[in-house]
Amino acid sequence: MQRFTQLFQEIDATTSTNAKVAALRRYLREENAANSVWALYLLLGKTRKRLITSRVLRDIFLQISDIPEWLFEDCYAQVGDSAEVIALLMQSHATLQLATPTTPLAQTAENLPLHLWMEEIIPQAKQVESEEDLKDLVVSWWAALTPAGVFVLNKVLTGAFRMGMSEKLVIRAIAQEFNIPEPVMAHRLMGDFEPTVEFFQHLTQIEAAEALSSPTRPYPFFLASPLEEDRFATEDFSRWWAEWKWDGIRAQIIRRAGQVFIWSRGEDLVTDQFPELASYFLTLPDGLVFDGEILCWANGQPLGFNHLQKRLGRKRVTQKIMQENPVHFIAYDLLECNGEDIREKELGDRRTLLESVLQAADPTFVTLSSSLSFSSIDELRSLRERSRECGAEGLVLKSANSPYLVGRKRGYWWKYKVEPMTLDAVLIYAQAGSGKRANLFTDYTFALWHEGTLVSFAKAYSGLDNAEIEALDKWIRKHTIEKFGPVRSVEPVQVFEIGFEGILRSTRHKSGIAVRFPRILRWRTDKPAAEADTLEAAFKLLER
């Protein structure tokens, strides 16, 4: 645990990607497989189970310290993370009533290896029978650790462990350390895995395809980059085609070993949320892996994303939900055919195989993506302008000779999204952010006029640069009207241009509308609040 905490501190202390990779490589070189595999499991965000809530940890801390609740809350407002607040206060507060560790395991906890913490010590939290027993257990752990170790432990307990190192960098580090190509390593680490010594040994072998093969394992997704229009204008358009960029869930549907597995781009296994798709794909031959988009679909048209949201996260989808929110898979690509990985083939060849596989497919459940040709940049722009008429959010441009790569590789696939819809809205509420922005007001609520009253219609958290955030934060503190817990009501005078990708009717919102991916485009210091847009203007966008 001590060595893993040290790794955390080394990574957290630098913004250099090379330094982060070097730190993880040193750790993997020095540690044994039992600890290394758990480090990877944590770094890749595989631990999503919450054993103890942040609120419980906070209450335990308040019981063993003389710090009043209001002071803890003020500290939290500055730091934005309960786990970190507890660790910082433990470092600076000398009057904590920390229990003496009572078990041999806990007495030497700081020096115990990471795998023992993950496999034997931390699981004890699920076995305690009372709140008092849980408190004693947690306090004994805290007593055996340094403040930095307490912070790491708290993040693991709450299922919120995040390290300042992307999945891409983790893959790069282990690939470099064991001399394995990054795309191969990315594929081996896709999906979930059991953090065992055996898995780690197979993972780091140069030839380990058979040992790591699993019918459930998806491939890493290939992602499009934002289009560089000037650069693309010089291309030979005859070797490119366009597809609609749909607003659904990017997914891989795997047909292997007599079963079907559906993976989202976020590496969540979502098969149970789309049972009708799973049942249909069982009728196709074994040894196929499709890349595409899942949408709710009716009468040949996509339904709004709010229909899809009614399925997401459910362990069981009822017949009623399936009837009201029917789903459809639009196939973009074929990654595996007859059990063979075909990602290295050119896109044109993979497309031919995909058309053959889906030749007799039931269009109720799956259709092939449209292939749109163009011969000039003006034709391409015209295609993009038609996107919203088709229910799409733009285009994806693909080179006919492109292999299916890993991640975002420039030059092969481009995304060409429509310009966002926009409305000028008035800032009415503000709330402090979290983490490093916990001491700044960065979460904003915006409103539109309706019959002389401002009605909230969207929240936005991004779009301003650091200087604008700091300037707006100072203004908010000076122009607060009321406080509602962490939320401040402010004078309704600041106008912002808000951009968003889509707009839908909503019975859940007072305004009667909901917008997709709202963000701030600019601070309209040139515009008085009285000239901000109205709710009627939003409904006109909806009708259009």
137-190 pLDDT, tens digit per residue, is 999 899 888 888 999 999 889 887 777 788 899 999 999 999 998 888 988 888
Same CATH topology for 2-157 and 421-543: the answer is: no
Q: Quick one: pLDDT band at residue 211, thresholds 50, 70, 90?
A: very low
Neighbours of 439 (CB within 10 A): 13
Domains of the chain, by residue range, sit at: 2-157, 222-417, 421-543
Cβ atoms of 21 and 176 closer than 8 Å: yes
CATH for 222-417 is: 3.30.470.30
**368-394 burial string, b = 16+ CB within 10 Å, else e?**
bbeeeebeeeeebeebbeebeeebbbb
Cβ atoms of 450 and 261 closer than 8 Å: no
Average pLDDT, the chain: 89
pLDDT above 70 (res 436): no
Residues 6+ apart with CB under 8 A from 515: 421, 457, 458, 498, 500, 501, 502, 503, 504
88-124 pLDDT, tens digit per residue, is 888 876 556 565 545 555 555 667 899 999 999 999 9
* pTM for this model (two decimals): 0.77
Q: Which CATH number fits domain 421-543: 1.10.10.10, 3.40.50.300, 2.40.50.140, 2.30.30.790?
A: 2.40.50.140
The CATH T-level fold of domain 2-157 is DNA ligase i, domain 1 (1.10.3260)
Query: Coil, strand, or helix at residue 394?
Result: strand
Instruction: Determine the pLDDT at residue 435.
Output: 64
**Helix or strand holding residue 58 (H, E):** helix 54-64
309-367 pLDDT, tens digit per residue, is 889 888 889 999 999 999 999 999 999 999 999 999 999 999 999 999 999 999 999 99
Largest Cα–Cα separation, the chain: 76
